[in-house]
Structure 1
């Protein structure tokens, strides 16, 4: 998952086939007509797979046409203007990259500071701009769709990707009553929360059943453990092993990454 530290913009998950067709039609490119037809006439999962697969093998001519079209539509009022502005940023950052085409099929999103987004397995995504805190489950299978100089394994990508449309669901933390605000996710591989000691709560004692990483993103805080106290300036982090009680004190913001430990 990703939590924004400032204004954040990205792409996540597939649009509906109908929405994909609407966006591609708005580009006003003749070569997109057949893709729009597929998206409007074929069952959704199959349509998304067919068009996404075809986009991965398209040549530079369509990429160049789309690059010019998104630059134009980014300055044209319409339902997809914000998304086209995002795609224009991608095209400028990655000129002539064929990954621009499959990116058109993904939901465009924006996060305000402190908002988060959970990304399930097999969900394609891209970060366009912004700074955030990202935490991931253990994996030996991170695949790339494009917009990179690294290897793109198209066949493996098509095997594992989830071709199902889903809306972007923005997460906001909820207070736990113990001084933390937790971002609730449907997995126990990790647990991300934010701790904000300050004038009204000078210190927060954290549970210590699992290993944890504490990252300071604002203010001045210190971390107190069995071995003593350590200052944690902005941008620095500290690791605390399981079984060691930890208290965060001061006036600032600390993101805490750990795992969900529960007993039957």
Structure 2
């Protein structure tokens, strides 16, 4: 087991305080810090820290010994790649609205773009790799998001609550067909509107949202979100698309799983995110980056209803597991109240990353080796290592997240 040095991604929507505070660095940071990456992603791999201070890229370590680092089954299933990426996500401002492809869609899209000769780092590249990108996000603070299409009947009620002369015909379109096909029709209509039509409709909608908030209407939270998005992206069709999505507020420890095709947008807050080790993104809007509408429509899943929120299934007195159908990853959370120093055994279940998000922890190996894991630090456990034990030290409330590969059977 080795401590990791992890890369910080300084995207403009990031926070200047969340990640520095987690790591015990001065705040505010000079620049926004949006994501802390833990894994073997080629774009910014973690580095393992040896006892002599030497560093080695985790990507190089896995490449040199895939079976020892990943385990035989996982190495075979994922082509000698670590299949997951663990992150701390710190959103001060909304991200882009986006969806991710299924494994079959990613493989087909990647092959198609390779055949066309589109460079993998080109701005108009949708599929830089041939793999799916499911993800799960678990709140560390109150975390706000849009995710999945709301029940159409509920959306019709929202649209009628902010009715405007220009919006009425679109409300009628969904009211006449309140199902996934109706959502597809309305969504497609809105994101393909000519800019001149958007420039007429969006101000109407935003003014109506202001009135609804002032009147303390039923959909005030949704309308505030639309106003926030409209302020930063005043001519973007993604603002209209946001009217169709579930508006979620997650409390610490609550999580949502975003499978292939789920249209989503993270708004604000700090969270642990685990995802497949892929860069495949189809953007809908609210970004200056490339938006490929035909390809987006091939990927988006218009299934509708409330977005399931997970609290973690109890797997022992101090452990909760977030279950998904993603074979690339599994996330679990361990917590100890202040004064509790009980040990938890972490079995050897393939490659693992342990991330401390509260307190200080000791990671103990059977041969007597131990690693002090402080708040904001993480440790790499190769598949070849035996089980370890984890316990708090210092007497404070402690929290640990454990990232593992999912089921690796072929």
TM-score normalised by the chain length of structure 1: 0.91
Match of 2:159 in 1: 24
| TM-superposed deviation, 1:2 | 0.9
Q: Name the structure 2 match of 1:235.
A: 376
Hey, what does 1:254 align to over in structure 2?
400
How many Å separate the matches in 2 of 1:90 and 1:113?
Answer: 24
Give yes or no for contact 2:167–2:205 (8 Å, CA) kept in 1.
no
Aligned twin of 2:120:
none
Distance 2:376 2:336 in 1: 17
Q: 1:223 aligns with which of 344, 363, 375?
A: 363
| Deviation for aligned residue 1:112 | 1.0
Over residues 121-178 of structure 1, what are the superposed CA-to-partner deviations in whole Å (9 max), with x where a residue is unaligned? Answer: 1010111111111111244532111111211111110011111112121111222127
Cα contact 2:347–2:388 (8 A) shared by 1: yes
Partner Cα separation in structure 2 for residue 18 and residue 57 of structure 1: 23
Q: Does 223-232 or 72-81 show the bigger shift?
A: 223-232
> Of residues 66, 85, 89 in structure 1, which corresponds to 2:228?
89
Distance 1:101 1:178 in 2: 45
Match of 1:162 in 2: 301
CA contact (8 A) 1:21 1:35 kept: no
| Structure 1 match to 2:256 | 117
Match of 1:204 in 2: 344
Count of equivalent residues: 264
The 3-state SS of whatever aligns with 1:196 is strand
Deviation of the 1:65 alpha carbon: 2.5
Match of 1:106 in 2: 245
Change (3 A) 1:137 1:118: same
TM-score scaled to structure 2, two decimals? Answer: 0.60
Question: Distance in 1 between the 2:178 and 2:306 partners?
Answer: 18
Structure 1 SS opposite 2:167: helix
Deviates more, 1:179-188 or 1:149-158: 179-188
- In the alignment, does 2:268 pair up with 1:126? no
CA RMSD of aligned residues (A): 2.2
1:150 and 1:109 map into 2 onto residues whose CA distance is 25
Match of 1:41 in 2: 176
Q: Which residue, out of 282, 300, 303, partners 1:143?
A: 282
1:199-257: CA deviations, max 9, x gaps? 33432220112111111111112333469322222222222211213322215101111
**Conserved? CA contact 1:204–1:248, under 8 Å:** yes
Task: Give, in whole Å, the separation in 1 of the partners of 2:379 and 2:233.
Answer: 35
Distance of aligned partners of 1:75 and 1:222 in 2 relative to their CA distance in 1, 3 Å threshold: farther
Contact kept in structure 1, 2:349 and 2:383, CA below 8 Å: yes
Instruction: Report the Cα distance in structure 2 between the residues aligned to 1:94 and 1:222, rounded to whole angstroms.
Output: 46
- 1:153 aligns to 2:292 (yes or no): yes
Q: Measure the CA separation in 1 of the matches of 2:210 and 2:190.
A: 19
SS in 1 for 2:201: helix
> Which shows bigger deviation, 203-212 or 68-77?
68-77
Q: Which runs of no fewer than 5 residues in structure 2 stay unpaired?
A: 1-135
In structure 2, the CA distance between the partners of 1:71 and 1:242, relative to structure 1 (3 Å rule), is farther
User: For residues 349 and 264 of structure 2, what CA distance do their matches in structure 1 show?
Assistant: 32
Structure 1 unaligned spans of 5+: none
Q: Is 1:55 aligned to residue 201 of structure 2?
A: no
Once the two structures are TM-superposed, the CA of residue 263 in structure 1 deviates from its matched residue by 6.9
**In 2, Cα distance between the equivalents of 1:95 and 1:228?**
56
Alignment match, 2:119: none
Judge conservation of contact 2:334–2:400 (CA < 8 Å) in 1. yes
Structure-2 separation of matches of 1:218 and 1:117 = 21
CA contact (8 A) 1:60 1:98 kept: no
Partner secondary structure for residue 194 of structure 1 = strand
